[in-house]
Amino acid sequence: MSEEAGAGTDLGRGEDEFVAFLAAGEPAVGEFRCSECGYGVSISRALPICPMCGGATWEHGPWSPPAPVRAVG
């Protein structure tokens, strides 16, 4: 991979690791980032075309636990 192709997308992956991409229209559940611009979505249906750049490929976003629910009152 050239430096230009991976510019700004290194998320600490080792050389032997790979990123699985999903295409717009594929059913998915979870957090995803547009592989072209980094726009993030949380989804539980078919992946859309990226509303920011029109990209059609997505990768799993970093997992984070849901925020705790606080009691009101």
The model carries a pTM of: 0.59
pLDDT top residue among 35 and 12: 35
Residue 4 has pLDDT above 80, yes or no: no
Q: Tell me: pLDDT of 36 over 50.
A: yes
Tell me the percentage of the chain whose pLDDT exceeds 70: 66
Q: Hey, what's the torsion of the CAs at 53, 36, 58, 21, to 10 degrees?
A: 150
Do 32 and 55 contact (CB within 8 A), yes or no? no
